[in-house]
Amino acid sequence: MTACLPTCRDLLSRWARRALLLIACAASGVAHAQMPQPPEIAARQYILVDVSSGQVLAEREADARADPASLTKLMTAYLVFNAIRDRKLALDQPVAVSQRAWDERKYGGSLMFIDTTMRPTVEQLVHGMIVQSGNDASVALAEAVGGSVEGFVDMMNRQAAAWGLKNTQFRNPTGLTEAGHHSSARDVAFVAARIVAEHPEHYRLYSLRHYTFNNIKQDNRNLLLGRDPSVDGMKTGFTEAAGYCLVASAARQTPAGTRRLLSVVLGTASREARAGESLKLLNWGWQAWDAVRLFDAGQPVATVPVWKGASSEARLGAPGPLVVSVPRGEGGRLRTTVERTDPLVAPLAQGQRVGTIKVTTVAGATVAEVPLVVQQPVELAGILGRAWDALRLWIK
């Protein structure tokens, strides 16, 4: 049956986040036969995602529940960014620092060093949360968005449930170890990729090397920002229970366009180890895999007959540019096939799904499956045109 998406805008938004939907799935979408083997990674769990194609290139125990430490602040940041986008918060809005935010100093985590006599702006707190990983800044923002820490944590969990993140549950907005507070490498990657896709204007803050507040300068703990010019984020974490964790995001220009890789390593032994293991994963992703652009945005994959329509044909294609990741050198050996609704009967809405585009290797291994959608609307024909096509369909 033909499946219709609500609106063209909604479809394009979903397409822009196709990578995110695939990250949330356990399978990579690429057959493992003769696939490049990742290097040995000294981490309890890890995952490497090609965000541009939506494919998982490598993983180990990516769905195992683990203490996410300050990687929790990715969800905190996402909800704060939403509030700013929705004009529930303004960047220049001063925020009262509660006793609860001030009390974060007692727990031994990272701090922005705000106190109850201060009224930092939302923008300052966001910098403190992202660059300095301040637990106090995270609590202050959580209270500003959710009304209370508990209210904000409810928002975090509702968002995780809406996304279908089955291995994530939050107890606080900071990442301090607490019973029942857990996530997974795959879920963390999903949240990180959401920020990249939906909030690029705020994502740039993750590349800042340092931030100074109240004459206290603190460096970003992501060591890769100074080691690989393609790395432009994203978040570190550490607790005794979690070990040293890192989400690293890197983008490079390729013949297929901008390509972004995102790695998550959990439970490494040191700050240096989390940086080194992440860089090892990213370098393998660049070297062992190619990104191949099969179709540009708006480029039709097929032009097919339409019945009972004001137009006799419809242009069908992917909802956006179709990019896939393949082992190095395999890009010229791909096959693209189309499975679609037949007969195709008007009216057809722009963005309406009418089938599937499948990309496979010569050996038949599936590389990608994406929706086949109508690229331009087709209105109903007049009474005579509909009657004539109805007769032709009956004869057919």
Active site residues: 70, 73, 133
Q: What CA–CA distance (Å, rounded) separates 262 from 247?
A: 7
| H/E element, 212 | strand 210-213
Q: What CA–CA distance (Å, rounded) separates 132 from 125?
A: 10
Residue 321 has a CB neighbour count (10 Å cut-off) of: 16
- From the list 207, 218, 233, 234, the residue with the least C-alpha distance to 137 is 218
How many Cα atoms are found within 13 Å in the side-chain-facing hemisphere of 293?
14
**What is the per-residue DSSP string for 125-194?**
HHHHHHTS--HHHHHHHHHHHHSSHHHHHHHHHHHHHHHT-TT-B-S-SS----TT-BB-HHHHHHHHHH
Q: What CA–CA distance (Å, rounded) separates 18 from 320?
A: 10
Q: What angle do CA 255, 261, 267 make, to 5 degrees?
A: 160
Contacts of 316 (CB under 8 A, 6+ apart): 300, 301, 302, 303, 304, 338, 340, 354, 355, 372, 373, 374, 375
CA 127 from centroid of its chain's CA atoms: 21
How many Cα atoms are found within 13 Å in the side-chain-facing hemisphere of 86?
8
> Widest CA span of the chain, in angstroms?
82
Residue 13 has a CB neighbour count (10 Å cut-off) of: 14
* Omega prior to 6 cis, within 30 of 0: no
